[in-house]
A and B are shown apart, each in its own frame.
Chain A
């Protein structure tokens, strides 16, 4: 009897969500729908320019490295953290590998290995200082951003070109009609989508993002998870750096510059929250695709380059406002 009374009381404040609210709350659905709509609209408007192999191929190639970065960023955002240094890690990794190959005449595999080791090391420093020493992630990110960019400048100066063919093949080959970087993106997304969704290890990041104190008191080693999260983010940035350098056939000191904010934007669009606890790898991919798509369509529509930034800014504000509106209605 007591229990039925309680259920009755509960009903008053468990509001049933309407169908529309449910859809609005699912960012993967809404964003996927918008991407489809924009694509249909563009296909009808520019049937000879937008829905053609050449254009789609360029679009996907353009977002491939950002999407790989977005995976790492999304995992950090799920736990309530973020990494501002990924763009610089991209630059530094490519620069180190290029320097070794071009000036040091080192075998390309060794050059890649050294580059990736440097990236992992940068991630370890980030993770150690943030998790164990307690430095604010924002400040640590800014510091490592400067350090990484400085290293990129140091190792490539204004730029390095003429890599071994074996190295450029990594990012310039075509497989089943798609450029290899697009395949790397697909593999990374698929792999991490499964891991993040299914494994105990990655599930812990959702708990940490949901309530860090409660997670620690539930026996989750938050500091260790934090450290590993930053290492993973930097490692993916290192991989992206190698792919980008190979694809471009050149290492320049601005590689990856500004990508950290682009990637954070994509993740937020894809359903992440700066508070943590929310987000999926598929969401990260959709956010990145959406940003690439908007850029692509605006170029086709001959809208000025400056407008792209403005429109993206407005879309971000709209997306986040919609979120809080839907949430407030529920409360």
Chain B
């Protein structure tokens, strides 16, 4: 029997305010295997891994490690149990050396209780050699390394704790082909010694190269586990998708004239984006996390100073240097992160609603603010969008997520943009508010507004869009037209979004 179970997850659930992130999930990890975990954005992969590494506490369910039930208290406890995690977001300190980073908090000490630098560097170099990372010196500052090499240091840091179970969360997102091979070698070394690897990746092709088994999560629910040898990409995608959202009586409002045209737009995380957006048309930019969708939108909105390429608004080439220019050209942007980028949380609802349009709330030549005009306008939008609040003088922080999102929508409606970019417009809000936001977007399109939507929810993108542009790894990999009810399916999109149809 080489299929000894090392980690068993039974009926684990986790609820966040408004969402059930995990619903009675089961998972079994065998000793010495590479176990891939896949699912769309928001399927619950990261939540599950955060429970295993002690960052979140589970609401219900049990976790068994080598047959014994464990209650993982915190990150340190997880480490002492032999579970190490490498996060998507780097946890390294740029101004410290590779050695200091790998052995952070565990540096060898000399007799005086000071850090034994010599020993530390020797240990690190020995360790790097074992990992076949010869061409790196333990004394190099992490900030001077390439992103790929930093990722390797991150993995080395996790491995230095001699884990039985190593969790890799999107390890190849920032690294190149050659380094993927180094990474895979490290993974194989670990499993040969009896360790197990939980491998989360959006790149399905990698999974077929490195993993022994693959488990699928969807909407926080466990969909099943397959032996990689006995399955194929289509079957996995089939398991990942399939949420139903009525595509009832699709109606297009697209006109002939092109509102926005982007030619060869490139930035740090995306390149050569070229597409058109017509008046009244809704186009969705879809792709998995990190595909470069938000970056593309930010570049169009002038919020990325390093972007290059050409942008045409109603056929005229424009030079958008900052968001002020973009708004001046009739472009609006509803940002992805409501609280960080969209709202003035400690300010009133009316102050938020008017924030994109202060100049239109004046009463004389001195640009004095007309408070009554602001309140009236805010009340109008409060009624139109059914923002649930007793008064628009209330602070936004007191509203629910759905109502907060409506406040931001109201703000952009007030600006009357000809082109509106909406980035994850329904993220983290309740079903009722979602439907209302869909209706608002459709209504805007019917009035001729061109809408570029970024959505991680494929059913949403399918239901609303005239066209869908798929991105993978910073590039456009596909464009699908949904208006004439051609059979565009989630499966087709997922293939493009996983870079498989290249």
Contact = CB atoms under 8 A, between A and B. Distances in A.
B431 to A, nearest CB: 9
B70 interface: no
Interface in A211-239: 211, 213-221
Summarize A's interface: helix, strand, loop or mixed: helix
Nearest to A210: B344
Interface in B308-329: 322-324, 326-328
A206 B350 CA distance: 14
A218 B353 CA distance: 11
A207 interface: yes
Interface stretch (B53-61, B181-189, B354-362): B354-362
Contacts of B233: none
A7 interface: yes
Interface string A198-213: 1111011011001101
Contact of B403 (A6, A207, A211, A221): A6
Interface in B42-69: none
Give the top 5 A-B pairs by smallest Cβ distance, nearest first: A210-B344, A219-B327, A6-B388, A2-B432, A7-B388
The interface centre, meaning the residue of A10, A211, A214 with most chain B CB atoms within 10 A of its CB, is A214
Nearest to A5: B432
21 contacts: A3-B386, A6-B388, A7-B390, A10-B400, A199-B366, A200-B358, A200-B368, A200-B369, A207-B344, A211-B343, A213-B340, A213-B341, A214-B341, A215-B344, A217-B303, A217-B341, A218-B323, A218-B355, A219-B327, A221-B322, A277-B344
Given A3-B386, A3-B388, A213-B340, A9 B345 contact: no
A199 B368 contact: yes
A329 to B, nearest CB: 14
B398 A13 contact: yes
The interface centre, meaning the residue of B301, B358, B368, B403 with most chain A CB atoms within 10 A of its CB, is B358
A14 interface: yes
B346 A210 contact: yes
Interface in A308-328: none
B394 interface: yes
Interface of A: 2-3, 6-7, 9-10, 13-14, 198-201, 203-204, 206-207, 210-211, 213-221, 277-278
A13 B303 CA distance: 35
Nearest to A206: B347
Nearest to B358: A200
A213 B326 CA distance: 15
A278 B394 CA distance: 16
Given A3-B386, A277-B347, A217 B301 contact: yes
A14 B430 CA distance: 18
A136 B92 CA distance: 23
Nearest to B347: A210
B267 interface: no
B400 A6 contact: yes
B389 interface: yes
A199 B394 CA distance: 22
A237 to B, nearest CB: 25
Contacts of B386: 3
A103 B398 CA distance: 63
A10 B387 CA distance: 11
A220 B347 contact: no
Interface in B234-283: none
A219 B351 CA distance: 15
Nearest to A198: B368
B323 A204 contact: no
A199 B326 CA distance: 23
Contacts of B361: 200
B342 interface: yes
Contacts of B366: 199
A190 to B, nearest CB: 15
B367 interface: yes
B29 to A, nearest CB: 39
B333 interface: yes
Given A9-B400, A200-B361, A200-B368, 20 more contacts: A2-B432, A3-B386, A3-B388, A6-B400, A10-B399, A14-B398, A199-B367, A199-B368, A200-B358, A200-B362, A203-B358, A210-B347, A213-B341, A214-B344, A215-B344, A216-B323, A217-B323, A218-B411, A219-B327, A277-B346
